[in-house]
Chains A and B, each alone.
Chain A
Amino acid sequence: MKPFIERHIVELLRAQDERAIGLLYDHYADALYGVAIKVTKDDALAQDVLQDAFVKIWKNAHKYDEGKARLFTWLFRVVQNTAIDAIRSRKRKMAKEIQTDDSNVYHIPTTQLAIEHLDIEHHASGLEEKYKVVIDALFFQGMTQQEASDELNIPLGTVKSRLKIGLREMRKLFGILIVLISL
């Protein structure tokens, strides 16, 4: 991102200047909305999540520590957590409305999610599917590594190595993209 814009936004946030939220929305909303959709798989819910997340960002601006994370990393975590909470809340609500003995009714395996929700075409030339599935489960489904291991039915060690390699591959991939764009 543009470091100057990032610094300017952080200063405005600290000063509780509302223009900070306008600038945040202009520069980050699309990426964050994409994250919210990836997690919730529901456009309407994703919009609610984005609204709640921006209010949280506004209220907790003082908690942001530039020394610990880039602005986007912090924004991503707020949106990711808000989205995961929204899904859990909706599941609890639905579970109350429809009582059933089958506890797996609302359980959507990540392997299915990968097929239905991953933007395969968009990233076809990019990361290998096996890495993407792991990264998506950890980044967008809010799973722990153990949960991802159980869900994807792969050993915990493999989850860890695929996460590391996937991120490293991503580094190469985006590096190439940046070079191509700059040509």
Chain B
Amino acid sequence: MNQRVTTFLEGDLLERYLMGTTSPIESQEVEHYIAKYPEVKETYNELQKNLEDYASSYAVAAPEELKTSIMKSIKAKPKKERIFPWIAVVACGVAVIFSFVTYLFWDQNQALMEDRYVYNELLEQLSDDIVSNRESLQSVEEQFMILNSTETQKYIMRGNTRARKLEMVAYVNELEKKSYVNVVALPELPDDQVYQMWAEVDGKLRPLDILKMSKDNLVEIPYRERMASLNITIEPKGGSKETTEESVVSKVSF
């Protein structure tokens, strides 16, 4: 016989298993031995038979009326089963209510998440606006500072016979090397023509900007060193790189 089987059978695990006093782990061990070793299975079967014989030797006639009572008891059991569906129904009801409440919370949460997204977007926009406004304010403050400077010269420009209604104010600060124009009135031109500004430098007209009526009253224009005069001409759409004195409709000399 296998040494392990001999050792196992010499112990009391099998007897305790028979009496149902083994722990779950011990029971697993015993069941493993019973399944694997035929001699253990045989011994276990003998023990069971002995138990039955030994217990039967103490047999006492059981009262017949007890049998009737037991049969009544087990017949009464199905009544309990009838109660079970009600418990199940209540449980289902509770589950449905719970699911509904959970859905409500989920839905509310989704709405709040959407609101949060919208508010975040709004906040971002406002933040951008603040930055943009700050920049604008800084630019206006800068312009204001330059216009108020004692170094800034103010020149009024009016159109000649070819542009009678043209009126413009030019500001030039030689120290800061900045120049601005404020277009007060600009007569309308055909679609294929524009007003262009020129700076006279060293006797030549150098192109500056195309003039437009702007909602911003004050528009910065490029500054040229040694600028002797500011000129406005009428040019073909898109502007020109060169012009002649004949095209000038307004001029102011410094």
Contacts and interface: CB of A to CB of B under 8 A. Distances in A.
A40 B57 CA distance: 17
Nearest to B60: A34
Contacts, number: 115
Contacts of A171: 46, 50
A18 interface: yes
Interface residues of B, number: 36
A119 B57 CA distance: 9
Interface of B is mostly: helix
A119 B54 CA distance: 12
Contacts of B69: 51
A35 B58 CA distance: 7
A18 B51 contact: no
A104 to B, nearest CB: 25
Interface in A36-54: 37-38, 47, 50-51, 54
Interface in B51-74: 51-63, 66-67, 69-71, 73-74
Interface stretch (B12-20, B117-125, B154-162): B12-20
Interface string B187-203: 00000000000000000
Contacts of B153: none
A138 B57 contact: no
B12 A163 contact: yes
Nearest to A144: B21
A82 B101 CA distance: 46
A42 to B, nearest CB: 13
13 contacts: A18-B74, A21-B70, A29-B62, A31-B55, A55-B74, A58-B77, A73-B52, A80-B20, A122-B58, A163-B15, A171-B46, A171-B50, A174-B54
Interface of B: 12, 15-16, 18-21, 31, 45-63, 66-67, 69-71, 73-75, 77
